[in-house]
Structure 1
């Protein structure tokens, strides 16, 4: 859509030309009167646009992103429902493929419903009563290469066990492929969740930090083995459901989100409008820490700066694992994915 330009945006020379009575025109002629009326109408319309509720300068063509939060700080079902409805309301912020069902990417980020996953995986009641925490990893695995799929599971399990944690098991995420397009389905990964048993002698912050290191180890092992593995989220706090469906089909594709046990203090949602990078399942948002419009024009300089300053990274808790964490910026991500890499560190 073309944006109108107010007369105030014209150069003084052009304004002078429009308002002058010379330029070879006879004062009072039909052409002269028409020109004066044109300028007057232009100025009047520009003033009306500036003083009205609508201003073309406020138009945007970018991703849709938002946050719903409980002001009382309590986990509630209506927060999740409001986030879902808000996401569906901004479906127009993303593009749609010719098949009519493949989108640029959409998703939602909410807190982990502990009871939901404890029931799903069959956590013993004694452990629930003892307050043993659990973490959930939302994982994209290769869909058709079963050998690579199994290798990915082995990598994930090995790194978790090596860090001293135990695993409750794997859960295949229920999905409905009828609501996605041919292109989305052709590139769709196998979507599974791994549920991890926490430790009562570790704080939530310690558990979350351990999971960050575990994820980085998993990602580096997957690169070394050349298997297509992507972890949407690996956390004891929150969980991400995303994909290349239309925003309005979020709960159709992921019926988990319709369960009343899905409660949260926040819901971060995102509808992607793909510009600098081609749409893929893993580049759908939200990311683990960030939901953002992207269009970071200084991204190359930012990445180079981060790489040159990695030697200065220091943290008493993470220092023993710096070789696992670096490089912080991962290859092949969008500008927002790169920002998310840094914000995770």
Structure 2
């Protein structure tokens, strides 16, 4: 904060001692409590719960007209001069609460230049084990950083926002009957109870199947299938996925179909998709999704009307999820500080520190907690 109490985005907290770490943790908890709705939000409930209404109206009115490039920079703590002061304060405060990701200078310890992440990690582990005389390494863990959001380019970001909108409209459920647009509930009311994996419940199942099934199938035959072709591995994943899990492929398929007739997907995205184009994409997405569920499209479904009713709110998904993603680095910091505090409170038995050991631009998983017995 500057002398006027305005956040500058620079982290002012330290975690060299348990007291400092605890102070940082308390500051994070105090700040994020009013924004818990952003942390717990689910994309399929965007319309039914009218999630955008929880945001400051001034923020919504500002961000709904912002270029995608600006939205994608929000999780990295980048603000624009013309934004409302309260919005800039929110984003910069989040940035100031997140652990800095700039790589520490390792040249004194490892003079070799241009080391890969694996080489850096290996060198650090080797240095520590040699210093403390350890003979066994139990585990070296890593977590996915929220910084991956910033790796999206404009085209990928726009497609991601559109896909969220399509999915939210397609899965619109019943607990807010007043909202006029719905596909599954209105035309296929039995699907919600007969296929409970539709929506968020199916996501964990899909991940488990994608990660576990190919591995188990290969090992069931020993190691002779270890070198399965990529196409075969993909086929195994597709076979074991529930039909609704492949909805994510349908957006790209629809985009490619439109690209063939209009001169390329990149041109469509760069110029901005007109409302009729998005209506067409939504219809293709929905028809393909219904097919995955084993359902036939009904003649009375007017996909263009459904999307037209949703369009004024669908454009709010990008701003909403950009602000939600901005919470990621702070939440990750909170989890890491909690682990760090546990080690720091071990009655002086451990010498512990946390710092970034990789280049964040190349390897977002760059924070390491290192503890040694004293």
Which of the pair has more CA radius of gyration? 1
What's the TM-score, normalizing by structure 1?
A: 0.20
Q: Please state which structure has a larger fraction of its residues in strand.
A: 1
Q: Please state which structure has a larger fraction of its residues in helix.
A: 2
